[in-house]
């Protein structure tokens, strides 16, 4: 007598695995820090902090332009983090490529800057992104979302 194969009631995994969520969370925080920096630059340029009094209008305009660039950068961080959570392969490839380029730039800067005590802080995010997005659950998740 044959027994029917029980049906698996739960579908395939729909949400991203922990390494992808952690990467996106860190990217959301980086976007928030960038947005706050943009707001601080804008506030300083407008004189609301008491630092812009007596500044030429060109410097105030440059501060406003810098604030806009920082806010656009923050939106890029947030969008890229959201696309990672959705399983977009191009977002993973872009984050990995930019992390690799950041490591190359840091290595070049350490080589060309001469003797001195190098800091390891700029290595933290690129290395973390490279490690987290290359774990087996992350690769499987992005492979399933075509």
| Residue 92 clears pLDDT 90, i.e. is over it | yes
**What pLDDT score was predicted for residue 132?**
97
104: number of Cβ within 10 Å: 11
Q: Other C-beta atoms within 10 Å of 4: how many? A: 5
Averaged over 27-41, what is the pLDDT?
96
Single out the residue of 89, 123, 88, 87 nearest to residue 105, CA to CA: 123
pTM over 0.75: yes
Predicted confidence (pLDDT) at residue 139 exceeds the cutoff of 70: yes
Residue 37 has pLDDT above 70, yes or no: yes
pLDDT of res. 143 = 92
Q: Pick from 33, 5, 55: which is nearest to 125 by CA?
A: 33
Mean pLDDT over residues 81-100, rounded? 96
Of 5 and 30, the structure prediction assigns the larger pLDDT to: 30
What is the rounded distance in angstroms from the CA atom of residue 122 to the CA atom of residue 96?
16
The pLDDT score that the predictor gives to residue 43 is 86
């Amino acid at each position: 007598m044959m027994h029917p194969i029980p049906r698996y009631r739960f579908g395939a995994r729909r949400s991203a695995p922990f390494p992808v969520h952690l990467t996106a969370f860190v990217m959301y925080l980086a976007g928030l820090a960038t947005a706050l920096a943009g707001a601080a630059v804008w506030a300083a340029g407008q004189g609301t902090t008491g630092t812009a009094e007596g500044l030429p209008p060109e410097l105030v305009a440059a501060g406003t332009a810098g604030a806009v660039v920082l806010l656009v950068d923050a939106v890029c961080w947030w969008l890229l983090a959201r696309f990672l959570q959705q399983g977009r392969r191009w977002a993973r490839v872009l984050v990995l490529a930019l992390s690799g380029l950041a490591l190359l730039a840091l290595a070049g800067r350490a080589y060309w800057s001469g003797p001195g005590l190098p800091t390891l802080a700029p290595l933290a995010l690129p290395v973390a992104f490279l490690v987290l997005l290359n774990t087996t659950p992350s690769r499987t998740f992005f492979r399933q979302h075509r």
